[in-house]
Amino acid sequence: MSRVSNTLNMYLILKSQNRVVPGEVLARELGVSKRMLYTYKQDLEMCGVYIETKRGVGGGYYIAEGDLKIS
Protein backbone atom coordinates (compact mmCIF):
# COMPACT_ATOMS: atom_id res chain seq x y z
CA MET A 1 0.00 0.00 0.00
CA SER A 2 1.00 3.61 -0.36
CA ARG A 3 2.35 5.80 2.40
CA VAL A 4 -0.85 7.86 2.47
CA SER A 5 -3.13 4.84 2.73
CA ASN A 6 -0.95 3.28 5.44
CA THR A 7 -0.97 6.54 7.39
CA LEU A 8 -4.77 6.73 7.20
CA ASN A 9 -5.10 3.06 8.09
CA MET A 10 -2.88 3.59 11.13
CA TYR A 11 -5.21 6.36 12.28
CA LEU A 12 -8.30 4.24 11.70
CA ILE A 13 -6.85 1.25 13.56
CA LEU A 14 -5.87 3.37 16.56
CA LYS A 15 -9.19 5.24 16.57
CA SER A 16 -11.20 2.00 16.49
CA GLN A 17 -9.19 0.33 19.28
CA ASN A 18 -9.48 3.03 21.98
CA ARG A 19 -6.49 1.47 23.74
CA VAL A 20 -2.72 1.16 23.44
CA VAL A 21 -1.83 -0.92 20.37
CA PRO A 22 1.61 -2.58 20.46
CA GLY A 23 3.96 -1.54 17.66
CA GLU A 24 4.40 -5.16 16.56
CA VAL A 25 0.64 -5.57 16.11
CA LEU A 26 0.23 -2.26 14.29
CA ALA A 27 3.18 -2.96 11.97
CA ARG A 28 1.82 -6.42 11.15
CA GLU A 29 -1.65 -5.01 10.39
CA LEU A 30 -0.14 -2.45 8.02
CA GLY A 31 2.42 -4.83 6.53
CA VAL A 32 5.39 -2.58 7.34
CA SER A 33 8.35 -2.47 9.72
CA LYS A 34 8.03 -0.96 13.18
CA ARG A 35 10.40 1.78 12.04
CA MET A 36 7.85 3.01 9.44
CA LEU A 37 5.28 3.59 12.19
CA TYR A 38 7.30 6.58 13.37
CA THR A 39 7.12 8.09 9.87
CA TYR A 40 3.34 7.63 9.77
CA LYS A 41 3.10 9.13 13.27
CA GLN A 42 4.98 12.22 12.07
CA ASP A 43 2.73 12.51 8.99
CA LEU A 44 -0.39 12.40 11.16
CA GLU A 45 1.01 15.00 13.55
CA MET A 46 1.67 17.34 10.60
CA CYS A 47 -2.07 17.07 9.90
CA GLY A 48 -3.03 17.83 13.51
CA VAL A 49 -3.64 14.27 14.70
CA TYR A 50 -1.49 13.54 17.74
CA ILE A 51 -0.38 9.96 18.33
CA GLU A 52 1.21 9.17 21.67
CA THR A 53 3.57 6.33 22.51
CA LYS A 54 3.85 4.40 25.74
CA ARG A 55 7.13 2.63 26.48
CA GLY A 56 7.75 -0.60 28.32
CA VAL A 57 5.51 -3.56 29.06
CA GLY A 58 2.05 -2.94 27.66
CA GLY A 59 3.40 -0.10 25.56
CA GLY A 60 2.55 0.92 22.04
CA TYR A 61 0.70 3.64 20.17
CA TYR A 62 -2.55 5.39 21.01
CA ILE A 63 -4.42 8.54 20.00
CA ALA A 64 -3.98 11.38 22.42
CA GLU A 65 -6.94 12.98 24.17
CA GLY A 66 -8.50 15.52 21.81
CA ASP A 67 -6.53 14.07 18.90
CA LEU A 68 -7.57 16.48 16.15
CA LYS A 69 -6.37 20.08 16.37
CA ILE A 70 -7.84 22.26 13.64
CA SER A 71 -7.00 25.96 13.66
* pLDDT tier for residue 66 given thresholds of 50, 70 and 90: low
First to last CA, the chain: 30
Instruction: For the chain, give percent helix, strand, coil, nearest 5.
Output: 50, 25, 25
State how many domains the chain has. Answer: 1
**Which pLDDT tens digit goes with each residue over 1-26?**
789 999 999 999 999 988 899 999 99
CATH number of the domain residue 27 falls in: 1.10.10.10
Would you say 42 and 11 are in contact if contact means Cβ atoms under 8 Å apart?
Answer: no
Instruction: Identify the pLDDT of residue 9.
Output: 95
Structural domain including 24 reads: 3-68
pTM confidence score: 0.84
21-58 pLDDT, tens digit each: 999 999 999 999 999 999 999 999 998 899 999 999 88
